[in-house]
Amino acid sequence: MNPYERCIATISGRKPDRVPAYTPSIACDVASKILGREAYTGSPTLWYSAAKAWIDGENAYDDFLHKHEEDIIELNRVLGIEVIRYPWLVNIRPTKKIDDYTFLSGDPDGVYQVWHWDQEVLNFHKVKDTTPMQQPEDWPKLARQRQKSVEASASRARESSAVREARLQKKLRDEMMVVAGGGGLTIGHEVASLMACILEPEAVGDILDCQLEVALAQMDGIAKQGIKVVLGGGDMADKNGPLYSPAVFKKLMLPRLKKLSAKCRELGLHYVWRTDGNLWQVSDMIFSEAGVTGYGEVDRDASMELGKIREKHPHVVVWANASGSIMRMGSRDEVYDHCAKILEESQGKLYFHGVSNTILPGTPPENVWAMMECRR
């Protein structure tokens, strides 16, 4: 099989000639060591590089995006990874450079955020935010605002979704499968968002209906572009379980997720629900009742082990299950054994091999090679 055929076989439930590989993103410092040059691939280093590019102007930012795309293509080729996606990019588009490591985004005389690059821990993070804090009682007003703009948002989504991904797929042909982001459904994980589920459930439902309308339009656009896989979902759990109760999920999330999943089946799209954390309390609703076909950011360190998932949900495609912390902290042999166990649990099907979330800054390149050699 060529790489594209291998991926299609996997999402179709057929056994490929070998398990295809996928990792959502690889930190820039790790990629740079693998490629032997500076590379813009993923992690907060990428966000910092984007901020620096914006300060130098639109042309500089366009050059940055071009280099970013070429770097992730080359990295996939070198490692033999079949699936490619544009990694998560926190694009703050700063309006002011405070110093070489600190940027202001927004209105300096109004609402703004300050972001800072911490070289010691390789993190680009927000150190100040003047955005007014929201309260649960704000949710009805937020819902009305969202309802006023949802039609225009859905129209834009239908026309613009996956255009960049389709261009990349045309460029790569069957060398890799390009996947698109879209179809996000989320209550949020801030305290006010969670409290609103109890105090203002109708408003939360109205906002989710708006998210759903945009998501359905995105599915139309993605299918029109010929992309087959949609990475959706939304963070909703930690290592202890969902951040809100299964009862809230059943009332607010499940009805909308059923409609989105049905739309994807109608269009022939493979939809992947992505979240870190322990999902066992709601997994039946997601994968059985709603009929979601894929599961991503599968947090093995939070007990979401491929073998256990396969026992409970035998038809779900699992998009990577290796632990980023083991990749970063373990020895080469420990990484190899860790990956071998996961591959054995996969039984050679319905699985894309790789790290479930990201290959973290500071991960030894030899551990990345151990992960890929184990697959081979």
Q: Which amino acid is at 371?
A: M
pLDDT for position 249? 98
Cα separation values, 239 from 278, 328, 336, Å: 5, 19, 24
CB of 71 within 8 A of CB of 45?
no
What residue segments make up the domains of the chain, in order of their start? Answer: 3-23+132-375
Provide the residue-wise pLDDT of the chain in tens; the chain has 376 residues.
999 999 999 999 999 999 999 999 999 999 999 999 999 999 999 999 999 999 999 999 999 999 999 999 999 999 999 999 999 888 899 999 999 999 999 999 999 999 999 999 899 999 999 999 999 999 999 999 999 999 999 999 999 999 999 999 999 999 999 999 999 999 999 999 999 999 999 999 999 999 999 999 999 999 999 999 999 999 999 999 999 999 999 999 999 999 999 999 999 999 999 999 999 999 999 999 999 999 999 999 999 999 999 999 999 999 999 999 999 999 999 999 999 999 999 999 999 999 999 999 999 999 999 999 999 9
Q: Which amino acid is at 87?
A: P
CB of 182 within 8 A of CB of 231?
yes
Choices 3.30.565.10, 3.40.50.300, 3.40.190.10, 3.20.20.210: CATH for 3-23+132-375:
3.20.20.210
Residue 254's Cβ-count burial label (10 Å; 0-12, 13-18, 19+) is: middle
pLDDT for position 91? 82
Q: What are phi and psi of 39, to 5 degrees?
A: -135, 140
Task: Give CA–CA dist 238/106, Å, rounded.
Answer: 31
How far is CA 335 from its chain centroid? 23
Q: Please tell me what DSSP assigns to residue 126.
A: E
Cα separation values, 71 from 1, 75, 81, 135, Å: 25, 6, 13, 42
pLDDT for position 90? 86
CB of 232 within 8 A of CB of 271?
yes
How far is CA 35 from its chain centroid? 24
- For residue 348 the two structure tokens come to 């050679």
Torsion of Cα atoms, 295 then 297 then 303 then 304, to 10°: 10
Query: Cβ contacts of residue 177 below 8 Å, gap of 6+?
Result: 3, 4, 7, 8, 20, 82, 83, 84, 169, 228, 229
pLDDT for position 77? 98
Q: Which amino acid is at 175?
A: E
Q: What are phi and psi of 67, to 5 degrees?
A: -65, -40
How far is CA 166 from its chain centroid? 18
pLDDT for position 361? 94
First to last CA, the chain: 14
pLDDT for position 251? 98
Cα separation values, 183 from 224, 231, 292, Å: 15, 7, 12
Alpha helices (H) along 36-190:
44-55, 58-79, 139-160, 163-172
